[in-house]
Structure 1
């Protein structure tokens, strides 16, 4: 609190006030040097705003305070050599955190594929919290450290963007080589590699990554000429959706799970009967993850030109996707599955927690296979090169998640607000609604 007092008649209060002005001024405007790089002390928007308010109150109550502050401002202004470039290369209005409340990632040449993947992971509240709370990894310690450092900056920094140079130096992908920031890579390949490394860092992260991204496909063959059924289970983290000759994601998923008849020269060899039999074969979803990642296959190989080409045709996707029509329980006759469970005719049990997913159980009435769209990655360019950027939906703040941007301008906390999610464009260093 600042009280109006007659400072002309009280030298002690006058000196105290001048000292306060001098100290707060340094907290706001002191320039860093090679000996002291950690100034000014007030760096966040909140602390700077409060300091400005404090100085404003001081100069309002006394003219001499105003003159003292004006003197310090002029000294600071006149001390700048206008013939030299601004040595710190930082302009708060241009380089400060965007009004969206989120921080971007600087593109180091061709690192847009990594930036899109990392921003998608950062925007998952439970995964962000788990990574920041993981103290030491069983493997990939340096990557974990740099990932935590990056997420901490994305959470707290007042800068417009974070430079991921140190992360790229320690991240190895193709062998033992660090990421070459000038080489373009496929975003899906990097994303899959990154979540695989997250699984290997700790048991808790492994379980969380599997809960979030890991699903199970069933490759099933049902014989017409014998009672046997062959079922092979396969884990997936992304679903490959064909784009060529497909108008939308429903057609692509229908093509993925379409029934194929094996007969004539293409008959199936039953491992139980040791003979060729007529059969039907199809792929269907056994278990779905919490977050379903669809990889649209926009690249084809032209056998005439012997070159890769990009498919640029329109491919539509809904805001809500119902996966129930592609589930094993809806595509395969229930009686056959129950009979097959009793016979234990599985070709592959080499996946984790197999017993949890193998036995057939009808879907409960409360089970939902409805997914809401939470993110889209766009690629512009050709099959040989281009640029990635993403649209990501702001998530609901969870009760146990304290790691939500403090200056995000909207937190969703009820069902009505959930219908009005905000979407943000993440384009390297740029983030905007």
Structure 2
């Protein structure tokens, strides 16, 4: 890492807690999509702590089968237990497992970081659920896995309906959306809930996350061929539909839809639009809390002019300082540098480094980040 490395080490020694580690990740040929997301997840502190707790609860299970969860826990343990504060680690075992498990990630082509994040979180949930079911069917082994997967027990007062398993992945990332449709004839509102791990937002030129969220929750009128079948009227009726955030997640992941299919071109195009993402975000228009407040702690950035080539890097906030991770390289950056990743105000610009996935942590009243 040379002079830059020693400069970083000096800064880390002076400004960061003793226990924190800041390690670059080796690239195994177009694995920057994976490295950038892993850095964002490592600096998602509640997720990291629960993953390390999972590791310490399960490391003695000799017959534990290797999977993406054990490989990720092993990698995070490897980083957090390094003697030095900074350096480079090769996430070889994790990448090999990922490629073995999903053929999409086997090629050396440019992959999508958002697709990888989605796949990883859903895979972790599947593994935790399987472990919990296995533990229930074998009481002898029910200790660490089930407790780790589910946390506190849910009671079932009526004994009839079994609640779905809520893993620590859900507790960090899962929110609930409610899709409300109001019949314009009888005024009956039909609501349907759905869960999400991230919000994918359409973007416009010179906009902001707040305006993108407003558009996401805007009211749409269903008429003509799109009329809604109202159960109360027993017929197709004009209606108004809107999506609201019913339960905001602890970690809010926002994916900006920068890759759009252009029919005239017959291919996907990257939208380099300037979309302002604030360091502090207030979620309005939520059902439960009118003022859920969030603080930005990581950004996965897509570098490049098109969807099929390019590079991913990440910015992370740790103990009130921002760092820049580009595969093996780690450097400190000024908070004001985050603004350079908002996007381009003009369609053709030399700046191709654009914020793609944003990670916000919910601010609990009275706490400091």
Distance verdict in 2 for CA 1:92–1:254, change over 3 Å = closer
Distance verdict in 2 for CA 1:178–1:223, change over 3 Å = closer
Distance 2:77 2:225 in 1: 60
Structure 1 residue corresponding to 2:113, chosen from 187, 191, 212: 187
Distance verdict in 2 for CA 1:181–1:425, change over 3 Å = farther
Residue of structure 2 equivalent to 1:105: 25
C-alpha contact 1:168 1:178 (8 A) present in aligned 2: no
1:385 aligns with 2:315: no
C-alpha contact 1:141 1:201 (8 A) present in aligned 2: no
Residue of structure 1 equivalent to 2:286: 327
Residue of structure 2 equivalent to 1:347: none
Give runs of aligned pairs for residues 91-102 of structure 1, distance below 5 A.
Answer: 98-99=8-9, 100=12, 101-102=21-22
Distance 2:265 2:325 in 1: 35
Query: Radius of gyration: which is bigger?
Result: 1
Q: Secondary structure at the match of 1:389?
A: strand
Residue of structure 2 equivalent to 1:167: 94
Residue of structure 2 equivalent to 1:146: 71
Residue of structure 1 equivalent to 2:323: 424
Distance 2:331 2:69 in 1: 28
Distance 2:73 2:79 in 1: 10
Deviation per CA, 1:202-234: give whole Å up to 9, x if none: 353452211111011111101121242211111
Q: Secondary structure at the match of 2:275?
A: coil
How far off is 1:201 after superposition? 3.1
Residue of structure 1 equivalent to 2:51: 131
How far off is 1:241 after superposition? 1.3
Distance verdict in 2 for CA 1:247–1:95, change over 3 Å = closer
Distance 1:267 1:182 in 2: 46
Aligned residues: 280
Q: Secondary structure at the match of 1:103?
A: strand
How far off is 1:105 after superposition? 0.4
Normalized per residue, which structure has more strand? Answer: 2
How far off is 1:165 after superposition? 1.7
Q: Secondary structure at the match of 2:50?
A: helix
How far off is 1:318 after superposition? 1.3
How far off is 1:123 after superposition? 1.1
Deviation per CA, 1:154-187: give whole Å up to 9, x if none: 11333621111221111248x6548436232111
Q: Secondary structure at the match of 1:305?
A: coil
Normalized per residue, which structure has more helix? Answer: 1
* TM-score normalised by structure 2 residue count: 0.69
Q: Secondary structure at the match of 1:130?
A: helix
Structure 1 residue corresponding to 2:245, chosen from 285, 293, 297: 285
Q: Secondary structure at the match of 2:218?
A: coil
Distance verdict in 2 for CA 1:95–1:201, change over 3 Å = farther
How far off is 1:260 after superposition? 1.1
* TM-score normalised by structure 1 residue count: 0.59
Distance 2:209 2:4 in 1: 40
Residue of structure 2 equivalent to 1:297: 257
How far off is 1:250 after superposition? 1.7
Q: Secondary structure at the match of 2:207?
A: coil
Distance verdict in 2 for CA 1:276–1:171, change over 3 Å = same
How far off is 1:116 after superposition? 1.1
Q: Secondary structure at the match of 1:273?
A: coil
C-alpha contact 1:244 1:313 (8 A) present in aligned 2: yes
C-alpha contact 1:168 1:180 (8 A) present in aligned 2: no
Structure 2 residue corresponding to 1:239, chosen from 183, 195, 199: 199
> Alpha carbon RMSD of aligned pairs, Å?
2.7
Gaps of 5+ in 1: 1-90, 330-362, 396-420
Residue of structure 2 equivalent to 1:318: 278
1:118 aligns with 2:38: yes
Distance 1:391 1:186 in 2: 17
Q: Secondary structure at the match of 1:149?
A: helix
Structure 1 residue corresponding to 2:297, chosen from 352, 374, 395: 374
Distance verdict in 2 for CA 1:146–1:276, change over 3 Å = closer
How far off is 1:272 after superposition? 3.2
